[in-house]
Amino acid sequence: MESKGQHVHRRWNPLRRSWVLVSPHRTERPWQGEVGQKAAPQAVSHDPNCYLCPGNKRAGGAVNPAYEGVFTFVNDYAALLPDPVEAAEASSSPLLLAEPVRGLCKVLCYHPDHSLTLARMTREEIRPVVDAWTQQYIQIGSLGWIEYVQIFENRGAMMGASNPHPHGQIWSTGFVPDEPAAETESQREHLARTGHCLLCDYVAVERADGQRVVFENDHFTALVPWWAVWPFEVLLVSRRHAGTLPEFSNDERDGLADALKRLTTRYDNLFETSFPYTMGFHQSPTTGNEHPEWHFHAHFYPPLLRSATVRKFMVGFEMLGMPQRDITPEGAAQRLRDCSEEHFWPRS
Catalytic residues: 167
DSSP label at residue 281: E
Distance CA(154)–CA(137), nearest Å, equals 19
Name the residue among 96, 253, 103, 89 with its Cα closest to residue 176: 103
Burial class of 188 by CB neighbour count within 10 A (0 to 12, 13 to 18, 19+): middle
Determine which helix (DSSP H) or strand (DSSP E) holds 28, and give its type and residue range.
Answer: none
DSSP string, 214-255: EEE-SSEEEE--TT--STT-EEEEESS--SSGGG--HHHHHH
Query: According to DSSP H, which parts of the chain are helical?
Result: 123-141, 178-194, 198-209, 250-271, 317-320, 329-337
Distance CA(281)–CA(315), nearest Å, equals 25
DSSP string, 74-110: E-TT-SS-SS--PPPPP-SSTTS------EEEEEEE-
Name the residue among 337, 224, 270, 329 with its Cα closest to residue 3: 329
Residue 182, φ and ψ in degrees, nearest 5: -65, -40
